[in-house]
Amino acid sequence: MPNDTNLKVTFCSGAGTVTGSNFLLEGNGKKFLIDCGLIQGEKLADDTNWDPFPYDASKIDILFITHGHIDHIGRIPKLISEGFTGKIISTIPTKEITAIMLEDTMHLLSRDVERGLDKIYTEDNIKKTISLWETLEYHQVLNVDHGFQFSFYDAGHILGSGMLEIVYNGKKIVFTGDLGNSPSPLLPDTEVITDADYLIMESTYGDRNHENRNERKSKLMQVIKDNYNRKGTLIIPTFSLERTQELLYEMDSMVENNLIPRMPIFLDSPLAIRLTDIYVKYEKYFNKETLKVVATGDELFDFPGLKETLLTDESKAILHVPNPKIIIAGSGMSNGGRITHHEKNYLPNVNDTILLTGYQALGTLGRLIFDGAKRLHILGEEVKLNAHVETISGYSGHKDSDHLVEFVQNMANKVKKVYVVMGEPKSSMFLAQKLRDNLNIDASAPDAGEQVTLEC
Ligand SMILES: [Zn+2]
């Protein structure tokens, strides 16, 4: 053992921003990365994705992936391009979700020849990514030489999401990845951690709480019934990963228990259709209540009236299906994807409805709709918004401020230091302050690029 057993953490990106999770943990001759995600949002931020990494990719031993959202995996092909040949490790569902998500991202980004992304997002780099990948079950321990042990605990955020625990020299370090808004319709609650010495945690909702989580299902039911009674079309822009499956699961139980009238419901997203297949394949990772439903033989995401429209022609044909009907399509913030075609068609109609079920970032069409804009530009046309606009906020995939504090409270007696990352600066700083004030623990919100030492 060298004398200096301390570890260093560099917050390469994903500090001071929600997205772009990428942290370097090094010490005792080893280098590990936690996540390698895309920075998303403003154009300026997007551009920093293509700056060189602040480390030598060829010297990284292992890349650990907390979950399959693109802001945690999206720059893996770039890491491969820069010479990474180490192992990639995650839970089993995360590996399969990543393969689908990267392929989908490749179709979009490889068109950007100007910035050389056609050389980064190649079939070949995605194949290499998957060939380097190994998996762990939750709680399974991976021993790595020089005295490191790694394991994943269920974060309850999306299927396969894991908090990464590192045991080294008797100390425990936990990277949370994203923390789920438990209880979730499908997933088990975030596992309780009581004994971390160092915690690196997300803070997407560090400064605010969610509203009406308990009413989310009844609100969804009401919106569906109102649309039915108006004989309208209900369009739901949604995220393909987790949110879509949550909505299908809720609708499945409503339809099969005759709580809503029968009508055509279209799942109009090739990405969501493929990801839903992964959810069906790995239903063993669902929570107890959902497993009981599985045990009755019910297919969780398939019910009378549901139609998956994989092909473009099938998608276009939805327009000619008589009302009332429901269309679920991507993307979740209406910044591209099939939903924009539906928005152009249906938003001018007073009897139709658009239902927003997730956060709408500034600069997206979804945000304009959320903010009540009456005239929109969609696919080169001016579109009047006369349809009903409904919002359900309870389906967020992230813990809110109070529940983030509650998560840390379980380890308040043990934890030496909490680093609050993966949030807008005001959100991260607010949460760090709240942890200091409410729990009397040492917490700070590091800047992107900052390096800290963990005494081990
Ligand atoms: Zn996530």
Question: 386 near 230, Cβ under 8 Å?
Answer: no
C-alpha of residue 407 to centroid of ligand 1, in Å? 17
C-alpha of residue 430 to centroid of ligand 1, in Å? 20
Q: Which helix (H) or strand (E) holds 93?
A: helix 92-109
357: pLDDT strictly greater than 70: yes
C-alpha of residue 160 to centroid of ligand 1, in Å? 11
C-alpha of residue 42 to centroid of ligand 1, in Å? 18
C-alpha of residue 225 to centroid of ligand 1, in Å? 31
Residue 252 backbone dihedrals phi, psi, to 5 degrees: -55, -45
Question: 7 near 173, Cβ under 8 Å?
Answer: yes
Q: How far is CA 256 from CA 10, 174, 207, in A?
A: 50, 41, 39
Strand order in 417-420's β-sheet?
142-144, 148-154, 162-168, 171-175, 198-201, 417-420, 443-444
C-alpha of residue 113 to centroid of ligand 1, in Å? 28
Which pair of tokens denotes residue 440? 């009397």
Strand order in 30-34's β-sheet?
133-136, 87-91, 62-64, 30-34, 22-27, 7-13, 451-454
Cα separation, 256 vs 247, whole angstroms: 14
415: pLDDT strictly greater than 50: yes
C-alpha of residue 38 to centroid of ligand 1, in Å? 12
Transcribe 203-259 into DSSP letters. Answer: -TBTT-----STTHHHHHHHHHHHHHHTT-EEEEE--TTTHHHHHHHHHHHHHHTTS
C-alpha of residue 259 to centroid of ligand 1, in Å? 31
pLDDT-derived band of residue 452, with 50, 70 and 90 as boundaries?
very high
C-alpha of residue 349 to centroid of ligand 1, in Å? 34
What is the per-residue pLDDT across 50-63, written as a single tens digit (0 to 9) for each?
999 999 999 999 99
C-alpha of residue 67 to centroid of ligand 1, in Å? 7
What is the per-residue pLDDT across 158-169, written as a single tens digit (0 to 9) for each?
999 999 999 999
In total, the chain counts a number of residues equal to 456
What is the per-residue pLDDT across 289-321, written as a single tens digit (0 to 9) for each?
999 999 999 999 999 999 999 999 999 999 999
Of the chain, the percentage scoring pLDDT greater than 90 comes to 91
C-alpha of residue 185 to centroid of ligand 1, in Å? 16
Residue entry with tokens 């499908």: 186
Query: Across residues 217-221, what is the average pLDDT?
Result: 94
C-alpha of residue 69 to centroid of ligand 1, in Å? 5
DSSP-based three-state secondary structure for 86: coil
383: pLDDT strictly greater than 70: yes
64: pLDDT strictly greater than 60: yes
Name the H helices within 323-414: 339-346, 365-370, 401-409
C-alpha of residue 445 to centroid of ligand 1, in Å? 19
Strand spans (E) along 297-406: 306-308, 325-329, 353-356, 375-378, 381-384, 388-391
Query: Across residues 4-19, what is the average pLDDT?
Result: 93
Q: Which helix (H) or strand (E) holds 434?
A: helix 425-439
C-alpha of residue 178 to centroid of ligand 1, in Å? 5
Strand spans (E) along 18-86: 22-27, 30-34, 62-64
C-alpha of residue 21 to centroid of ligand 1, in Å? 10
pTM of the full predicted structure?
0.94
